[in-house]
């Protein structure tokens, strides 16, 4: 988000505001989930995603995942988008301004902190929509701040495909991840222990499903 976009967005930065997190893989929508704004500053924003939130999801052949289906094997018009509910646990997302990643605080039952997750991505903000073009390669960070790469093989397999990223772009994506991993090793924000006890206000009800699926970012 550039500085002008930040100044515009601060006009609508009240905590609890419902935004929409749209997740794309290889140019196709995978999920569109309502989230609530926790905090927005010039450095970035925090949003809360609640487990079980009503959402839109891409309906795929049984047992399939969009990242495992080559773009040229997908229907020309994409797969149908159907109502669903967010099946993963609740998470607090930190989306730093002008960065190619998000950091998630993952929470389990009764709100117990389970660790961090670094999602490498290309992110676009427009209005109340947060569009995410996933970069496949991610990082798991344990509560003790030990870390490991995730999905290295599938990241390598997608490198060079025209709808994903070139070899040069892949190097930049990995460098972004390495930079964030060094923050975890140093125990600096967002891995400094802050927000690990976050609980959404009791007044925040589960946000409703958006009235329609999001538009494409392409």
Task: Indicate the range of 1-5, 137-141, 204-208 predicted with least confidence.
Answer: 1-5
Angle made by CA atoms 5, 7, 10, in degrees to the nearest 5: 105
Ramachandran region, residue 52 (left: φ > 0; alpha: ψ -120 to 50; beta: rest)? left
Burial of 163 (0-12, 13-18, 19+ CB in 10 A): middle
Indicate the pLDDT class of residue 62, thresholds 50, 70 and 90: confident
How many residues would you count in the chain? Answer: 218
Show the beta-strand stretches assigned E in 2-80. 18-25, 28-41, 44-49, 54-58
Summarize pLDDT for 159-200 with one digit per residue, the tens: 999 999 999 999 999 999 999 999 999 999 999 999 999 999
116 pLDDT exceeds 50?
yes
The residue ranking higher by pLDDT, 215 or 96, is 96
Active-site residue list = 150
- Percentage of the chain modeled with pLDDT above 70: 93
Round to whole Å and give the CA distance between 105 and 116.
5
Summarize pLDDT for 7-55 with one digit per residue, the tens: 444 447 899 999 999 999 999 999 999 999 999 999 999 999 999 999 9
Report the first-to-last Cα separation within the chain, whole angstroms: 18
Asked if the bond preceding 85 is cis, omega within 30° of 0, the reply is no
Round to whole Å and give the CA distance between 36 and 205.
10
Round to whole Å and give the CA distance between 200 and 49.
10
Q: Which of 142, 90, 95, 85 is nearest to 119 (CA)?
A: 95
pTM of the predicted structure, to 2 decimals: 0.91
The CATH number given to 3-186 is 2.40.380.10
Round to whole Å and give the CA distance between 66 and 51.
21
- Dihedral of alpha carbons 177, 183, 187, 191, sign: negative
Residue 15's CB: how many other CB atoms inside 10 A?
A: 14
């Amino acid at each position: 988000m550039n500085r002008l976009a930040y100044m515009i967005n601060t006009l609508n930065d009240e905590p609890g505001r419902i935004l929409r997190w749209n997740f794309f893989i290889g140019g196709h929508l995978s999920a569109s989930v309502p989230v609530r704004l926790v905090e927005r500053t010039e450095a970035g924003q925090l949003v809360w995603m609640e487990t079980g939130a009503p959402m839109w999801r891409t309906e795929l052949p049984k047992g399939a995942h969009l990242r495992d289906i080559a773009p040229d094997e997908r229907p020309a018009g994409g797969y149908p988008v159907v109502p669903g509910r967010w099946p993963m646990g609740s998470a607090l997302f930190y989306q730093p301004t002008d960065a190619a990643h998000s950091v998630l605080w993952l929470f389990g039952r009764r709100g117990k902190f389970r660790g961090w997750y670094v999602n490498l991505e290309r992110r676009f903000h427009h209005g109340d929509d947060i569009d995410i073009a996933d970069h496949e390669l991610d990082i798991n960070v344990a509560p003790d701040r030990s870390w490991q790469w995730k999905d290295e093989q599938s990241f390598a397999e997608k490198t060079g495909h025209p709808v994903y990223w070139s070899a040069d772009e892949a190097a930049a994506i990995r460098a972004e991840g390495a930079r964030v991993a060094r923050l975890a090793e140093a125990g600096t924000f967002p891995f400094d222990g802050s927000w690990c006890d976050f609980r959404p206000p009791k007044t925040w009800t589960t946000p409703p499903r958006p009235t329609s699926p999001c538009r494409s970012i392409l």
